Chain A
Amino acid sequence: MLRRLVRLGAVALSLLVLAVVVPGSAVKSTEVALVKLDRADGVDVDPNLIWILAVGSDARPGQDMTRTRGDALQLIGMDTRTGAATAIGIPRDSWVPIRGHGYDKINAALFFGGPQLLGEAVGDLVGIQPDYVMVSRFKFFQAMVDDIGGITVRNPVAFSDPNLKPKGFGTGPIRLGGYDAMVYARIRYNLIRGDFDRSANQQRVLRGIQTRVRERAASPGFIDRGVLTAMQHLSTNLSPAELFRLAQAVAHVVPSKITTCVVQGSIGNVGGASVVLPFTAQARSYGDQARKDATIERC
């Protein structure tokens, strides 16, 4: 008690000394102002709930990336009314029916019928047809991450790849430039659960990108430059204005309202090829949960 009184006395004395010693402190009483500002934000995009299939193509230089095999598949939903967003990861080797082509690995749909057919295949699995399909290749993805100044992801398990990243990635929050973000999303070399873990890592990268875009969205011209870059490197039939609106929708997603899940499955063998037999009921459950508000309560 005595110690507390002494401490309070010392604080009071310090304030008194400041009041006496600081020049003009007696007359200039408002050098600092602390004012409460109310903030409101919102973006009107039609429809309010947008579904985008983001596809990372494994196309090599010179190949048409819309006619190769999708290496990364994430169905992303955004509710622009609430700022909620979700990503449903689809293992690329998922053995599913593809319209007009019988059963095959889901990523073959891009090769068979381009973005439209791939969108339909993913939509049939999850029960939500995407409004947009965006296909990009590794090089663009890498450049895009560099353009936004790198990202931070929270890595739960250390992993590496002798070719792509010999030193590997440590656990905890890690900073990734363009190349590292690209290989972080690609590696499955020593991930315990292979493609499922890789899909979850892709979602960590997406979170990192969204966070970075949100941080920098207020910087004049940042979104505009992003739209121009996207127009140069993305396969899209969207107008610049539509891309701008989408980019603003991404920037207005609230990080705490992001939920992510990966469609699980068992490993099977079809004609000598290893495939994922997806848990279709689970995929539908994710779709059912997220359809109205881009939120998945349970993975």
Chain B
Amino acid sequence: MRSTARRRAGATALALVLTLAAGACSGSDDEPDEPAAAPSSSAPAVPAVETTVVIGKLTGRLPKPERAKVVAAVGAVVDGWTQAAYVGGAYPRRDFADAWPGFTAGARALAKRDRALMSNQDIGHRIDGVELRRSRVVLDVLSVKQRAQAVTARVLVGFRTTGQVERAVRVQGRLYLTHGDGGWQVFGYDMTKGAV
């Protein structure tokens, strides 16, 4: 449990960095893993990682204020998932039933089927902590009539586990979201997970 405080500090400091880079893909998925640059103000001893959320490919027109809303709202959904599925919670951990907030009911059922990948269910009981090393989200946005209609979130999360299983893990891929009555929701995914 030694990393619980670290995780909490990290979670507290997980303010989304809202960077807008409209019209062009910013950043590459091929960049090497490296510790995130922004340290936590609340836990100076342990560098906390901020999730960077940027607009990648924008299809259609979307005013800047609307882009900011999309970045904030979708960034929160993606971050909610990475926290609930990988980074947050009390390890050792066996319960991942709530690992997919922000997913539609159907997508939640699919993710539960793929829980070894879509959460830390595969190693949760053999680790005592997770330290987030990198969290980056690029949003490809489909906009019609100046309103965001659908988003593909390209996600890259890197973390290190401690305990019986000590390894660096990278979760990478795409989440698909549309906007419904409950706000932005993930209805599909295409993800990989592996030790690096």
Contact B140 A220 (CB under 8 A): yes
With A38-B117, A45-B187, A240-B150: A224-B192 Cβ-Cβ less than 8 Å: no
Closest to A223 in B: B152
Task: Decide if A260 is an interface residue (CB 8 Å cutoff).
Answer: no
Contact A40 B189 (CB under 8 A): yes
Closest to B186 in A: A44
Q: How far is the CB of A13 from chain B (nearest CB, A)?
A: 34
* Number of B residues with CB within 8 Å of any CB on chain A: 44
Closest to A46 in B: B106
Contact A241 B150 (CB under 8 A): yes
Binds B, one of A96-104, A142-150, A244-252, A279-287: A244-252
Which of B57, B103, B109, B191 interacts with A221 by CB under 8 Å?
A: B57
Contact A244 B193 (CB under 8 A): no
Closest to A249 in B: B188
With A220-B25, A227-B150: A42-B59 Cβ-Cβ less than 8 Å: no
Contact B191 A40 (CB under 8 A): yes
0 or 1 for each of A231-245: is its CB under 8 Å from B? (1 = yes): 100000001110011
Query: For B142, what are the chain A residues with a Cβ–Cβ distance below 8 Å?
Result: 223-224, 227-228, 240, 244
Cα separation A38 to B179 with both chains bound (whole Å): 29
Query: For A37, what are the chain B residues with a Cβ–Cβ distance below 8 Å?
Result: 192-194
Residue among A48, A221, A227, A228 with max Cβ neighbours from chain B (10 Å): A221
Task: Decide if A225 is an interface residue (CB 8 Å cutoff).
Answer: yes
Which of A38, A218, A221, A248 interacts with B116 by CB under 8 Å?
A: A38
Query: For A81, what are the chain B residues with a Cβ–Cβ distance below 8 Å?
Result: 110
Contact A38 B192 (CB under 8 A): yes
Contact B176 A221 (CB under 8 A): no
Query: For B141, what are the chain A residues with a Cβ–Cβ distance below 8 Å?
Result: 224
State the main secondary structure of chain A at its contact with B.
Answer: mixed
Instruction: State which residues 144-167 of B face A: CB under 8 Å.
Output: 144, 149-150, 152, 154
* Number of A residues with CB within 8 Å of any CB on chain B: 31
Residue among A35, A38, A44, A81 with max Cβ neighbours from chain B (10 Å): A44
Task: Decide if A43 is an interface residue (CB 8 Å cutoff).
Answer: yes
Contact A228 B60 (CB under 8 A): yes
Query: For A44, what are the chain B residues with a Cβ–Cβ distance below 8 Å?
Result: 103-107, 109-110, 187-188
Q: How far is the CB of A102 from chain B (nearest CB, A)?
A: 42
Task: Decide if A39 is an interface residue (CB 8 Å cutoff).
Answer: yes
Task: Decide if A41 is an interface residue (CB 8 Å cutoff).
Answer: yes
Q: Which residues of A are in contact with B by a Cβ distance under 8 Å? A: 33, 35-46, 48, 81, 218, 220-221, 223-225, 227-228, 231, 239-241, 244-245, 248, 252
Given A38-B194, A41-B190, A221-B59, 11 additional A-B pairs, CB 8 A: A38-B193, A81-B110, A220-B138, A223-B142, A223-B152, A224-B57, A228-B144, A239-B149, A244-B178, A245-B176, A252-B188
Q: Could you show 21 A-B contacts with beta carbons less than 8 Å apart?
A: A36-B194, A38-B192, A38-B193, A39-B173, A39-B190, A40-B118, A40-B193, A42-B107, A42-B111, A44-B187, A45-B187, A218-B190, A220-B25, A220-B56, A224-B59, A224-B142, A224-B152, A227-B142, A241-B178, A245-B178, A248-B176
